[in-house]
Each structure stands twice: as C-alpha cells, then as structure tokens.
Chain A
Amino acid sequence: MKIAENTLGLPYHVDERGFYGRFGGAYVPEMLYPNVEELQNRYLEILREPSFQQEFEQLLRDYVGRPSPLYFAKRLSEKYGAQIYLKREDLNHTGAHKVNNTIGQILLAKRLGKTRIIAETGAGQHGVATATVCALMNMECVIYMGAIDIQRQAPNVARMKMLGATVVAATSGSQTLKDACNEAIRDWINNPVNTHYILGTAAGPHPYPDMVTRFQSVISEEIRKQLEEKTGNPNPNYVVACIGGGSNAAGTYYHFLNEPDVKIIAVEAAGKGVHSGHSAATTQLGKLGIIHAAKTLLMQTDDGQITEPYSISAGLDYPGIGPLHAHLYETGRGTFLAATDDEALAAAYELTRLEGIIPALESSHALAKLGEIPFKPTDVVVVCLSGRGDKDMETFIRNLPNK
C-alpha cells in the first residue's frame, strides 16, 4: 500500500508548506487553526501506522469490494480507435469512488479521538459514503447539504437518513455545494474538539488535498497492477477523468504524475457552454483566489465574490478546483477539456448501449471527450468510471433521445 509514501520534493506533489506550485495552503481563520494544525502534524504519521494500513486495506477489500475491475471496453474501443479500459469505481459499495476517502478519514478520525463526524455533500454521493462509514463505526454523523440540492437529490437524502445521519439544510448563499461546505466549516469552528470534518474532495485547506488524494490513490495503484497483468506495461498512454473538485481525478492520476509517457486528461463540466454563463469549467473561467481555505483557480466576479457554477451533474458544480489540478493545468502537465451537459448525456447513452453500463453523469463527462483526443489505434487509454448512474435515472429518463 503506497498511501503513506514520502513524496516531499517530488514534482506535482504537495510541498512542506502545503502548496502545489502557487496553489494550496491553509487560509483558515484562527478559530480553525488548531484543528487544521493537528491534521497537518498527524495525518502522515497515522497513515504510516501498520495497524492503520491493515485496517484500511481490509475494509477496502472486504467492505468496499476492491480491487475494482479494470474492464477492457471492446465496443467503445472500436468506436474510438484505441484500447480503452474503464476503471470500475462504479462497482464500489455505495456506487462511487467517494467511499475510498471516507473509509480512510473515519479511521483517521478514530485515531484522533474524535467522536462526531461532519461532511458536506452536493449530489449526495459523498454524504452517503460518509453516513455509511459512520454507521459502520458507530459515530455521530451530520451532513450539510444545500437546501436546493436536498430537493433535487431526494433518494440520497433518504439513504443518508436511513443510515442514521442527520441531514442539515444549508440555507445560506446559493444553497448548493459550496454553501454546504461553508456550513460544515462553520460547524467545525463551533465544535473544534470532538469533531472531525470528512471533506469529500481534493480541495480545502492543507492537508486535505494531499490526504484525500492519498486515500484515492488506490485507484491508480490498482490500475498499474492491472494494466501490467493485461498488457505487460503498467503505464497507459492516457488517463482520463472528470473534475469538479477533483478527487477521482487525483486518485486516477496519482501514480502517473511523474511518468512523463502518460498523458493526463481532465474533463470539466461546461454546462450549457463554457461562455454561456451556466458553466463549471473552472480552469477556463477562473482566476486566482481563495475558496474553502485553499488558494486555487476560482470562478468569481470582478469584485472577488465567488460565483455559482452550473452543471447538469451535481457532483461537478464546484466553483473552484483542487490545488493539485490547478497546478497540473498551469504547468501544462494535464490537458484540460470541457464537456457540455448535452455531450455528457450523449456519452452516457452511448456507453449504456455499447457496453451495458449506465455511468454517473459526472463520469459521463470524461467519456464525452474520447472523440476529441487524437488516439493511435495502439494507444492504451484508462478512463475512470467514477460512479454509477442510478442516482441520475430521473435526468436520463427526462432527456432520453428519440423516445
């Protein structure tokens, strides 16, 4: 298990101050400083404990169902003229990659002596994954969710409640993901001693981006092993993932960051079009700023107010982007594309008919750009299928082509 390896000094990894290039850091008010400092000081040491690694590995195997398959998608490959593999995070318990991180963080919270867990959620996937591990570990669980998202994502709200979580509506601001995150941070300020905040994406103050990335890095660790078995080479030519905050992407890229032969492709949500005013394509629309205590690219007004992003997929409508990804964008290590709502929907219907897999709308964004990458027929391509589409059935049915 490589989650605890020393990466200090390696390019594209967090530095000792918590930065990726000029992005990252911990811009927290003093009220949060002791909590964040405790995490900064202890996360690596806890991740390195053999008992931690053993428990993490065992739960990922027996509870989550890892390793997730690396599936050679034959018909999709024929269509796009490359050797395309799907990393099946959709087959994890709770239906997405989110659970890799919540398992890791709840084990960490226990070792920090915390008794209460809080989390934010947008579409509800991270909320469900958090409520799940809280049930498993018998911990109190409070999930903050934008009031508008609570209405849009009723089945996931019901799941969280059935799992024993308290779901609190974030009624401030735009009442969606960023506000849920604000409310979770405010809860943490008010409950600094007994509470751990399980942040769901590779964003927020240092050490969250690195910590979440390490827990998700099991994805690329497995890809390398599985590819080697299947092709004789652990490195593909391309890794492709969708990005909102960027946790599945960070996990998919992690062990390839310093493998220059592997091209990194990130797909953001263009919504109704990058320049339509209804988009979440942060690298194209954002400027340097601070969101949820991290310095990164951020969609904001000329006055520095954070703007509300839009995407058909509730998991990608984040106005910022994890600092690792901002750095990959700025250095050119990653190629950033953007898929519109319509392109993502078309890709979801296509995968369903070609391979019999209904993908989450988020993952569909990654699939939607396969036609725009200049593949050679021998190119090996790994796409992270970060989640399954059950939660999106209402949207899929509403938009069915040629009914």
Chain B
Amino acid sequence: MSNRIDQLFASKKTGILNIYCTAGFPELNDTLPVMKALQQHGADLIELGMPFSDPLADGPVIQESSTRAIKNGMGLRVLFEQLKGFRKDISVPVILMGYLNPVLLYGIEAFCQKCAEVGVDGLILPDLPMDEYENEYKAIFEHYGLHLIFLVTPETSEARIRKIDSLSKGFIYAVSSSSTTGTDKNMGHQQAYFEKLEKLQLKNPVLIGFGVKDKATFAAACAHSNGAIIGTAFIRAIENATNIDTAVKDFISSVK
C-alpha cells in the first residue's frame, strides 16, 4: 500500500478533512506555504487546483481564483517546478484537480510521469469521460501509481455509481447537490442521497463535497461518509489574507 491516499483511509475512517486550494493563489508563490499551513493545522488531504481559463463545473469564487492564478503566471510547467521537492516538508496525500484540456496539451503520459516524480498521489479530472479513461489512460495512471477519483451526484444512477466505484481508486467524490461549486443549496435536502450512498457499501471510501463550509455542514457530511471536501469557503478565507498561516489556522479551527 504505497499510495498515501490508501494509507490515510486505512488509518482513519471518519472525519477526514480534504481542503481544496487553487495553485498559485492568492499569489504565485503561495502554493507551498498554503500546503504547509494546511498540513500543520490539520487537513488530512490536500486537493490542489490546476487553474483553467474555462472551469465549467465551478462557481464564481473558484473561477475567480483560477483567473487570478493564471494572471499570476500559474500553469502546469510552473506548478511542477514549484512542487519539485515538496515531499521534504509535506507528508499528507496530495491530489491535483483540474480540467482535461491543459493536461491533454501537456501530454497524458508526460503529465502522469511528472506527478509521480514530484510525489502527487491522485487526480480529479471532472471532464474526463469514464470510458475514455478505461480504454485509453487507465494503464498509464496505474503505471505511475496515480489514483483517479471520480465524482458522483444525486442524479447518478446506481448502476453508474457501481461502475464508477469499480474504476475509482482512493476514494469517491460525492457531490452533495446538482450544482457548480460554492452554490448555497441546502445540504439538509440531501439526507436521502447520503443514506443511499452509505447503503451501497461501496469498495471505495466516500468524501462529500460542494456546500461544505463550516462546523455544521462538515459534521453533517461526516455523519454519512468518511469525510468532506471544502473548496469555496477556504478560497474565500485566504483570498485577502495578510498572513496565510493564521488564515489557514483560523479557517480549519472554524470547521473541525
């Protein structure tokens, strides 16, 4: 069990906190300081966003963080430069999240090789179709020891959830409502969906994301899953921070 994501879920079953942050945000060189602060103050997993000009699944807050990061000069080449050697300081699992276009242009194999080289553990590529992954890329991802994490939503059929479970590694990202990120849809309405997921007894652990932003929503998500993912609320918390470390510390203590 060499993948850090698997190690995490083997040792911790509940209350896992996964925090998303856009790479190169708020400033270009904040990527590593943010990651270090996240680990130090109690994030179990770090999801690093690879900024894209046209992030279809994201709401305004994460869109703006991407636009700002791109303006700062962030891109895949710069990101891999920044991540060189980051494993000296950071031991929690790290996942890269982003859209397929920049990855395709970089080259799937070259991208996976770089990820493995710097110490990335998994990927979330929401617009990569399942069958294309299975037929064309799965072998490459596995060769480099990278876990691909798929999303499920309240509209995903049970048969498809089963298929996603069989292809996913690491965990499954359960989107709490049919929405873009950062939408204030009430998670209370999703109780039945969370319970349904629980009953399916999936082979992968489940983390819930979208709409998780504070103690109450984090606890609600954790009640039916292994933990939760927070993105938009965290971006808001650090976008104007004068001290990254303090901002991260304050945010995490407001959640756990």
Contact = CB atoms under 8 A, between A and B. Distances in A.
Interface of A: 25-31, 33-34, 172-173, 178-179, 182, 185-186, 189-190, 192-193, 287-293, 298, 300-306
Nearest to B151: A30
B127 A303 contact: no
Contacts of A29: 56-57, 126-127, 151
Nearest to B127: A27
Contacts of B150: 30
B104 A290 contact: yes
B105 A304 contact: yes
B104 A289 contact: yes
B59 interface: yes
Interface in B43-81: 52-54, 56-57, 59-60, 63-64, 67, 70, 75-77
A29 B153 CA distance: 10
Given A30-B153, A31-B178, A190-B178, A305 B127 contact: no
Given A291-B101, A304-B103, 12 more contacts: A27-B127, A30-B126, A31-B57, A31-B175, A31-B180, A172-B67, A287-B105, A289-B104, A292-B56, A298-B101, A303-B70, A305-B52
B156 A34 contact: yes
A190 B179 contact: yes
Given A190-B180, A305-B70, A27 B54 contact: no
A30 B53 CA distance: 20
Nearest to B55: A182
B33 interface: no
B219 interface: no
A27 B100 contact: yes
B54 A31 contact: no
17 contacts: A25-B129, A25-B132, A27-B128, A30-B151, A34-B155, A173-B54, A173-B63, A186-B56, A189-B178, A190-B180, A192-B178, A289-B105, A291-B101, A302-B75, A303-B105, A305-B102, A306-B54
A289 B127 CA distance: 12
Interface residues of B, number: 40
A97 B56 CA distance: 28
Q: Which 10 A-B residue pairs are closest in the complex by CB-CB distance?
A: A304-B102, A303-B75, A304-B105, A29-B126, A305-B53, A30-B151, A29-B57, A27-B127, A34-B155, A290-B101
User: Which of B99, B104, B132: most chain A Cβ within 10 A?
Assistant: B104
B76 A178 contact: no
Contacts of A291: 54, 101
User: Which of B59, B70, B100, B155: most chain A Cβ within 10 A?
Assistant: B155
A45 B77 CA distance: 46
A284 to B, nearest CB: 18
Interface of B: 52-54, 56-57, 59-60, 63-64, 67, 70, 75-77, 99-106, 126-129, 132, 150-153, 155-157, 160, 175, 178-180, 183
Contact of A300 (B77, B101, B153): B101
B52 to A, nearest CB: 7
Contacts of A305: 52-53, 70, 75, 102
A303 B75 CA distance: 6
Contacts of A31: 57, 151, 153, 155, 175, 178-180
Given A26-B129, A304-B104, A189 B57 contact: yes
A371 B126 CA distance: 47
A289 B126 contact: no
B66 to A, nearest CB: 9
A300 B126 CA distance: 20
User: Which of A30, A190, A193, A305: most chain B Cβ within 10 A?
Assistant: A30
Contacts of B54: 173, 178-179, 182, 291, 306
A34 B153 CA distance: 10
B156 A189 contact: no
Contacts of A290: 99-101, 104, 127
User: Which of B52, B104, B105: most chain A Cβ within 10 A?
Assistant: B105
B135 to A, nearest CB: 10
A28 B76 contact: no
B126 A172 contact: no
Nearest to B103: A304
Contacts of B127: 27-29, 290, 293
Contact of B152 (A25, A30, A173, A293): A30
Nearest to A298: B101
Contacts of A185: 56
Contacts of B77: 303
Contacts of A300: 101, 105
A302 B75 CA distance: 9
Nearest to A18: B129
A216 B113 CA distance: 45
A305 B126 CA distance: 17
Contacts of B160: 33
A306 B178 CA distance: 26
Given A173-B54, A192-B178, A290-B127, A304 B106 contact: yes
A292 B52 CA distance: 13
A306 B60 CA distance: 18
A287 B56 CA distance: 20
A199 to B, nearest CB: 13
A34 B54 CA distance: 21
A192 B180 CA distance: 11
B63 A30 contact: no
A189 B180 contact: yes
Contacts of B67: 172-173
Contacts of B128: 27
B106 to A, nearest CB: 7
